[in-house]
């Protein structure tokens, strides 16, 4: 178990609030904030543009973050593209992949809108030329996508399966290894995994999973600053993607309206990057590695189960998902009380921060019959058992009040 007490000193904000909304964005530890300040105080320059020492140092710091990300997920540096967030990483694939006529893509109904809307939009845009089809794998009532569902839907025209590792609305953890095995029984069918809710909470090894692409935030489980994220893609696959953000830093030559693209990953990183954010992101990965991801995972599993159990014991509370399958996220409702009201009362009475509503995953709420949304508590290593008990006790009081 992680001793959350010592660690909490790195998050001064925790003196004032009980933070149970890390699935939205995580708290930022002091060393990460200090790394960002250090850049602005001591070596503030742009990257890839200057021959002077300060600019070179900045470039090296940014590249060292790329190296840390690659080591974290067992990839190579050229396979890591910096993005602003997970959404931006997913869209880089969707808008860049050379899909062909009549191909189809499989997603699921537990996706975050970021891995749903851009795909159905692609389908709409392709109506008059490529006629792409987006098929939707339905999860079971606990929010689990059975690998057999994917098998049922794959056919000779399937080009990509794009699914989430952990549902952000229910917390259900998908059997990504078995889904990957099924996907890779087929030639040239690719697996894109949205690891927004898993990276930093559990070990992600792209080689072990055999992921073709992963889309990841820097600002959630990995504790990076907001405005950071990355796309991993197998080198031969990111080389197939057309970059959509061309401009400064993306070409090696330009003459008579002809240009030569930079190597991957730089051809995707047009314009000035979020330099301070990327530097902070690198420091955040050090922080997570020092804590040890396996320990983080054990700590979160323990707290997730405790919270699930405590909430389930309250008479008129519905807790969603299956206790043996959910991870980091506990979604619930007090019967006949709007989730926003619950969240507001928790905040006003006890300074407890939880998310409420649709969680940008509207289709997934039909699965659990929670049409007004849910209250969602989400956990990271800086949470402790007191946080969990405090939330459960407050929910009990609210539920008694509304009985």
Ligand X SMILES: Cc1ncc(COP(=O)(O)O)c(C=O)c1O
Which residue stretch of 14-22, 85-93, 299-307, 387-395 sits at the interface with ligand X (rule: CB under 6 A)? 85-93
CB-nearer residue toward ligand X: 145 or 310: 145
The reply to whether 356 sits near ligand X by the rule CB under 6 A is no
Q: In angstroms, rounded to a whole number, what is the distance separating the alpha carbons of residues 292 and 299?
A: 11
CB-nearer residue toward ligand X: 8 or 355: 355
CB-nearer residue toward ligand X: 112 or 173: 112
Given a contact cutoff of 8 angstroms between Cβ atoms, the answer to whether 264 and 250 are in contact is no
Q: Which of 65, 4, 72 is nearest to 36 (CA)?
A: 65
The reply to whether 374 sits near ligand X by the rule CB under 6 A is no
CB-nearer residue toward ligand X: 85 or 180: 85
The reply to whether 87 sits near ligand X by the rule CB under 6 A is yes
Q: How far apart are the first and last CA of the chain?
A: 37
CB-nearer residue toward ligand X: 88 or 104: 88
Q: In angstroms, rounded to a whole number, what is the distance separating the alpha carbons of residues 116 and 205?
A: 24
Choosing from 28, 65, 86, 300, the residue that interacts with ligand X (CB under 6 A) is 86
CB-nearer residue toward ligand X: 122 or 317: 122
Backbone angles phi, psi at 208, to 5 degrees: -60, -45
- Bridge pairing between strands 18-19 and 80-83: unpaired
Choosing from 104, 164, 276, 304, the residue that interacts with ligand X (CB under 6 A) is 164
The reply to whether 112 sits near ligand X by the rule CB under 6 A is yes
Which residue stretch of 84-92, 120-128, 204-212, 236-244 sits at the interface with ligand X (rule: CB under 6 A)? 84-92
Q: Is 325 exposed, middle or buried (0-12, 13-18, 19+ CB in 10 A)?
A: middle
CB-nearer residue toward ligand X: 277 or 398: 277
Residues near ligand X (CB under 6 A), total: 13
Q: Which of 167, 264, 163, 153 is nearest to 209 (CA)?
A: 163
Which positions are annotated as active-site residues? 360
Report the nearest approach of ligand X to the CB of residue 360 (Å): 6
Q: Is 383 exposed, middle or buried (0-12, 13-18, 19+ CB in 10 A)?
A: buried
List Cβ neighbours of 167 (8 Å cut-off, separation of 6 or more).
110, 139, 143, 174, 197, 329, 361, 364
Backbone angles phi, psi at 151, to 5 degrees: -60, -40
Report the nearest approach of ligand X to the CB of residue 333 (Å): 19
Backbone angles phi, psi at 249, to 5 degrees: 85, 0
By CB under 6 A, the residues from 189 to 248 that bind ligand X are 194, 196-197, 217, 229
Report the nearest approach of ligand X to the CB of residue 25 (Å): 8
* Apex 47 CA angle, 45 and 51, nearest 5: 80
Choosing from 22, 91, 108, 168, the residue that interacts with ligand X (CB under 6 A) is 168
Phi-psi region of 369 (alpha: psi -120 to 50; beta: other; left: phi over 0): left
Q: In angstroms, rounded to a whole number, what is the distance separating the alpha carbons of residues 366 and 361?
A: 10
Report the nearest approach of ligand X to the CB of residue 223 (Å): 13
The reply to whether 331 sits near ligand X by the rule CB under 6 A is no
Chain residues that interact with ligand X, rule: CB under 6 A: 85-87, 112, 114-115, 164, 168, 194, 196-197, 217, 229
């Amino acid at each position: 178990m992680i001793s959350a007490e010592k660690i909490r000193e790195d998050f001064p904000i925790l003196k004032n609030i009980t933070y149970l909304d890390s699935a939205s964005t995580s708290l930022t530890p002091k060393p990460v904030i200090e790394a960002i300040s250090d850049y602005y105080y001591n070596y503030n320059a742009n990257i890839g543009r200057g021959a002077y020492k300060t600019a070179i140092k900045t470039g090296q710091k940014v590249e060292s973050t790329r190296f840390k990300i690659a080591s974290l997920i067992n990839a190579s540096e050229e396979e890591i593209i910096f993005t602003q967030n997970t959404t931006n990483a997913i869209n880089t694939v969707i808008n860049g992949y050379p899909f062909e006529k009549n191909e189809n893509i499989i997603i699921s109904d537990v996706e975050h809108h970021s891995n749903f809307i851009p795909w159905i939009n692609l389908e709409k845009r392709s109506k008059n030329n490529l006629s792409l089809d987006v098929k939707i794998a339905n999860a079971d009532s606990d929010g689990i996508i059975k690998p057999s569902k994917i098998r049922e839907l794959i056919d000779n025209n399937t080009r990509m399966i794009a699914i989430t590792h952990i549902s952000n609305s229910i917390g259900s953890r998908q059997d990504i290894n078995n889904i990957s095995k099924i996907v890779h029984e087929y030639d040239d069918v690719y697996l894109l995994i949205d690891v927004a809710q898993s990276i930093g909470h559990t070990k992600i090894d792209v080689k072990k999973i055999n992921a073709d692409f992963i889309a990841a935030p820097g600002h959630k489980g990995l504790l990076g600053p907001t405005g950071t994220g990355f796309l991993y893609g197998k080198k031969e696959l990111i080389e197939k993607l057309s970059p959509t953000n061309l401009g400064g830093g993306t070409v090696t030559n330009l003459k008579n309206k002809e240009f030569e693209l930079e190597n991957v990953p730089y051809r995707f990183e047009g314009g000035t990057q979020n330099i301070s954010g990327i530097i902070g992101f690198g420091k955040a990965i050090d922080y997570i590695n020092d804590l040890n991801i396996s320990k983080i995972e054990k700590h979160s599993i323990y707290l997730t189960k405790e919270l699930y159990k405590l909430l389930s014991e309250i008479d008129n509370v519905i807790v969603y998902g299956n206790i043996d399958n959910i991870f980091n996220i506990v979604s619930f409702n007090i019967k006949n009380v709007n989730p926003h009201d619950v969240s507001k009362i928790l905040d006003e009475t006890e300074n407890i921060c939880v998310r409420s509503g649709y969680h940008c995953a509207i289709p997934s709420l039909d699965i659990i019959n929670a049409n007004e949304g849910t209250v969602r508590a989400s956990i990271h290593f800086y949470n402790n058992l007191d946080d969990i008990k405090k939330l459960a006790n407050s929910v009990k009081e609210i539920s008694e009040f509304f009985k």
